[in-house]
């Protein structure tokens, strides 16, 4: 698929929904080993030029100490038609660059939101790692 230019001014993040939050900081020790994972889903409404990125962020130990978040990011995209092509089944196929851009905006926003929410917990000061949106997109496509 041919990549179209992404114009940041045409991307409007109009709503963020924290769907689910899990924070368990009861037995934090210096030896706590947390495993980090992040996944996403993408949904769209072509007529309304809207895209939703769902992020699932986990930072957990093997005994469920840690944090889990499910956060939805709702976008309106001016000229959304420029970012996809219809396949043979008349389904929209978005450019990888476009979806990776939305994932990057969403994850970066989630990192700040989670950082702020953890300030009143024993995880105070914890910063989620930086993740390549392109690698998230590729790993999703390889599932």
Domain boundaries along the sequence of the chain: 8-141
Mean pLDDT to the nearest integer, 29-54: 91
Residue 139 — very low, low, confident or very high, per pLDDT cuts 50/70/90? low
pLDDT digits (tens, 9 = 90+) for 9-20: 999 999 999 999
Q: What is the pLDDT of residue 142?
A: 46
Mean pLDDT to the nearest integer, 95-103: 94
**Strand runs labelled E in the chain:** 11-24, 35-45, 50-60, 66-77, 84-86, 92-94
- Is the pLDDT at 4 greater than 80, yes or no? no
CATH of 8-141, one of 3.40.605.10, 3.40.50.720, 3.30.70.940, 3.10.420.10: 3.10.420.10
In percent, the amount of the chain with pLDDT more than 70 equals 94
What number of helices (H) and strands (E) belong to the chain? 2, 6
3-state helix, strand, coil in the chain (%, to 5): 30, 40, 35
pLDDT digits (tens, 9 = 90+) for 58-79: 999 877 889 999 999 999 999 9
């Amino acid at each position: 698929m041919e990549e179209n230019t992404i114009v940041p001014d045409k991307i409007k993040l109009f709503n963020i929904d924290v769907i689910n939050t899990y924070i368990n900081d009861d037995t934090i020790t210096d030896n706590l080993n947390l495993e980090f994972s992040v996944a996403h889903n993408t949904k769209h409404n072509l007529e309304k030029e809207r895209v939703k990125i769902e992020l699932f962020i986990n930072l957990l130990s093997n005994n469920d100490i840690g944090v889990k978040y499910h956060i939805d990011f709702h976008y309106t995209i001016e000229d959304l038609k420029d970012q996809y092509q219809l396949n043979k089944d008349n389904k929209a196929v978005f450019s990888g660059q476009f979806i990776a851009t939305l994932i990057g905006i969403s994850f970066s926003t989630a990192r700040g939101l989670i950082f702020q929410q953890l300030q009143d917990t024993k995880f105070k000061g914890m910063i989620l790692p930086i993740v390549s949106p392109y690698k998230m997109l590729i790993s999703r496509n390889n599932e």
